[in-house]
């Protein structure tokens, strides 16, 4: 079924999506200062490619659903206080750039800021943190994030279809309209601070997939990149989304689109080919999509972790104390570690069932190994999450009752907010890390485990371990997570095959120390050289290359609403002049005329494929001129063409893509 979208951005107003109370309309933020002592304002609509800044200073504008800030209101003064969230990816990616690189962050706040406070908060965040908040009305926020993002996009991108009313939410166009409205608000904030000729804009994740359309419409030559942090489903799954074309076109308004794995990129390319009829090819080591004269580049780049942040936690005295406690508590036991969000896609219940099979099949493991399963708080709520949680507790209780003994529990569930140092301690002490997700965009738990197993001089000293002692680690990972292709030394499993998972865990625990060491060294080398800084620097370098030809081409914006795109042509392109063609035609002594059949002589949409009498008359006149050589070039069969064009005796035919030629 053809997806229905607004025919024009103005149609959104008729849906009352952007018709917010006047009290919520904010004045334009002052642009970030680019020349000392001069602050320019963005006023009016202006031309789409005018540089409204007085300076020329390249910046990286990072746009995400949430700003990398923690907000807290002082109970005594009533003032808002903000601090950087050091665990945020948006902060950590700065490590890939020189310290003087300027970053501007645009996103919403995880706090309810009153309307009369929003102006002051905006100014404070811009001056103190280079952050621009996007304040979404409460109703829009709820429908956009909890509605469309979490109840439609997130399940679909993880291969979950709403087959029944109690198994996911059916498509609701009001939620889609809220999603579009939220993206429009984000675009307004970007426009308030951007210098389109110099700045690079990098959009993060599935919350903002139509934002590129709004930005490309305003600035035809904007340097725009997008990275998807979740899986991208196969075309058979994605095509069920009623607004599939609008989202694809939104992403194609970027210059560079990034994915964690080749599979996710391949699925996206397949959707573009099957639903939009686009072709792609490899260009100088990059995959490129031709989209109305623009080349949209595809980047395959798995994200990394911030190693320095993790090592600093490893060096804390509290981490060493917890490691000693774990060492004493589980003395003589093999530790298997799982750290997952409470999520239906993390496969925690399947992991527990696999452990049950391990104890049942490999009886020598009873009493000798323990699964420590840390369950992070759920990021979303719903009946599915509650059912998953209930199943996890029932399964863990059954295993402990059957295979446990006084002083020994085979499965230990830690279902609370676990401090960072405690998680780090478990990472460092675990003999094996088991990641059993049934679908996950990347999952960085294995990377953190590898770094913690490597240790630091500080933690070695605290634990009384020689720095020269061999380091080992063992990973059992699901083949359905994004980091799996990067970890060639891990044991890959199908999480649905619980017998195979149990066998893999047994293999990991009994593997020789030499083999574990070799696998660990391979993994550590990869993880330590492909950290989050490397990921960010590599992406933005490719974004530079992808947008370097912007001013070498002529651009025209075409299309309405979410169908907007930019037509890009070389400077030498000129529209043919009929008068010039006629004049040249009359002056020449020899002319070669090649005509296509479908779409030229006969309309593509026509059910009747035979040429009309008028077309035959024109062809016959052209062929009777001795100065002309006229050929019909077509993929059609020679018999049909010969029959239909028989009145034109001097007409040449190149049928079947040139296989048959009649002079």
Give residue-wise pLDDT tens across range 516-567: 999 999 999 999 999 999 999 999 999 999 999 888 888 899 999 999 999 9
pLDDT of amino acid 317:
96
Residue 332 region, left (φ>0) first, then alpha (ψ -120 to 50), else beta? left
Strand, coil or helix: 389: helix
- C-alpha dihedral (59, 61, 67, 72), degrees to nearest 10: 30
- CA–CA dist 2, 599 (Å, integer): 23
How long is the chain? Answer: 663
Express each pLDDT in 606-652 by its tens digit: 778 889 999 999 999 999 999 999 999 998 888 889 889 988 888 99
Helices (H), 342-444: 348-361, 383-403, 420-429
pLDDT of amino acid 30:
41
Strand, coil or helix: 226: strand
pLDDT of amino acid 165:
60
pLDDT of amino acid 167:
55
pLDDT of amino acid 16:
41
Give every residue of the chain whose pLDDT is below 70, as ranges: 1-56, 164-168, 663
Helix then strand then coil, in percent of the chain rounded to 5, is 45, 20, 40
pLDDT of amino acid 29:
46
Residue pointed to by tokens 């294995």: 446
CB proximity list for 460: less than 8 A, separation 6 or greater = 466, 467, 469
Q: Can you spell out the DSSP letters for 87-120?
A: T-HHHHGGGGS-TT--EEEEEE-SS---GGGHHH
- CA–CA dist 82, 69 (Å, integer): 6
**pTM strictly above 0.85:** no
- What is the CB neighbour count within 10 angstroms for residue 24? 11
- C-alpha dihedral (394, 397, 401, 403), degrees to nearest 10: 100
Which helix (H) or strand (E) segment holds residue 80: the answer is strand 80-84
Closest CA to 304 of 542, 479, 526: 526
pLDDT of amino acid 164:
65
- CA–CA dist 576, 583 (Å, integer): 12
* Residues 265 and 259 sit within 8 Å (Cβ to Cβ): yes
Strand segments (E) across 228-303: 256-259, 280-283, 286-291, 294-300
pLDDT of amino acid 571:
84
Closest CA to 6 of 228, 130, 184, 128: 184
């Amino acid at each position: 079924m053809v997806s229905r979208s607004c025919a024009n951005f103005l149609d959104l107003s008729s849906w009352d999506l952007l018709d917010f109370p006047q009290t919520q309309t904010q004045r334009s933020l002052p642009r970030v200062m680019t020349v000392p002592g001069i602050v320019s304002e963005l006023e009016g609509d202006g031309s789409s490619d005018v540089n409204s800044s007085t300076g020329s200073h390249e910046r990286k504008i990072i746009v995400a659903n949430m700003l990398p800030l923690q907000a807290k209101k002082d109970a005594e003064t009533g003032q808002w206080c903000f601090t950087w969230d050091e665990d945020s990816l948006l902060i950590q990616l700065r490590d890939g750039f020189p310290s003087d690189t300027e970053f501007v962050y645009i996103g919403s706040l995880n706090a309810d800021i009153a309307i009369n406070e929003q102006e002051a908060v905006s100014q404070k965040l811009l001056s103190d943190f280079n952050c621009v908040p996007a304040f979404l009305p409460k109703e829009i926020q709820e429908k956009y994030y909890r509605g469309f993002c979490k109840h439609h996009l997130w399940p679909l991108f993880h291969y979950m279809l709403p087959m029944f009313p109690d198994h996911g939410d059916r498509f609701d166009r009001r939620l889609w309209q809220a999603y579009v409205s939220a993206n429009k608000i984000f675009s307004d904030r970007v426009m308030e601070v951007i210098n389109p000729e110099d700045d690079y804009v990098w959009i993060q994740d599935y919350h903002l997939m139509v934002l590129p359309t709004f930005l490309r419409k305003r600035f035809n030559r904007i340097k725009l990149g997008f990275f998807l942090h979740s899986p991208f489903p196969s075309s058979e799954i994605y095509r069920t989304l009623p607004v599939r074309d609008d989202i694809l076109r939104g992403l194609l308004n970027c210059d560079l689109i990034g994915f964690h794995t080749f599979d996710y990129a391949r699925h996206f390319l397949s959707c573009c080919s099957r639903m939009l009829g686009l072709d792609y090819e490899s260009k100088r080591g990059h995959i490129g999509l031709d989209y109305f004269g623009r080349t949209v580049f595809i980047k395959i780049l798995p994200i990394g972790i911030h190693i320095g942040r993790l090592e600093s936690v490893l060096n804390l005295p509290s981490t060493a104390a917890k490691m000693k406690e774990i060492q004493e508590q589980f003395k003589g036991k093999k530790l298997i570690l799982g750290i997952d969000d409470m999520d239906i896609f993390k496969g925690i219940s399947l992991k527990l069932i696999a452990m049950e099979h391990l104890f049942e099949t490999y009886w020598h493991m009873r009493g000798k190994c323990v699964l420590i399963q840390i369950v992070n708080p759920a990021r979303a709520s719903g009946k599915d999450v509650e059912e998953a949680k209930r199943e996890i507790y029932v399964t863990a209780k059954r295993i402990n009752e059957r295979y446990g003994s006084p002083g020994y529990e085979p499965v230990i569930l830690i279902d609370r907010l676990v401090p960072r140092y405690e998680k780090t301690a478990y990472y460092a002490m675990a003999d094996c890390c088991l990641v059993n997700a049934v679908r996950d965009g990347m999952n960085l738990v294995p990377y953190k485990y590898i770094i913690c197993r490597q240790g630091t001089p500080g933690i070695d000293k605290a634990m009384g371990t020689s720095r020269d002692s061999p380091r080992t680690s063992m990973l059992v990972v699901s083949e359905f997570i994004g980091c799996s292709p990067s970890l060639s030394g891990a044991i890959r499993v199908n999480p649905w095959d619980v017998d195979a998972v149990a066998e893999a865990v047994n293999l990991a625990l009994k593997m020789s120390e030499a083999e574990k060491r070799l696998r660990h060294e391979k993994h550590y080398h990869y993880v330590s050289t492909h950290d989050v800084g490397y990921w960010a620097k590599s992406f933005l370098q490719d974004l530079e290359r992808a947008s370097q030809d912007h001013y070498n081409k002529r651009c025209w914006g075409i299309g309405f609403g979410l169908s907007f795109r930019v037509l890009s042509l070389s400077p030498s392109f000129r529209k043919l002049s009929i008068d010039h063609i006629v004049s040249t035609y009359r002056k020449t002594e020899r002319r070669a005329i090649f005509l296509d059949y479908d779409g030229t002589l006969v309309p593509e949409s026509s059910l009747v494929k035979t040429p009309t009498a008028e077309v035959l008359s024109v062809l016959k006149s052209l062929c009777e001129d001795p100065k002309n050589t006229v050929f019909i070039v077509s993929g059609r069969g020679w018999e049909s063409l010969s029959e239909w064009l028989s009145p034109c005796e001097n007409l040449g035919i190149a049928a079947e893509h040139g296989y048959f030629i009649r002079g």
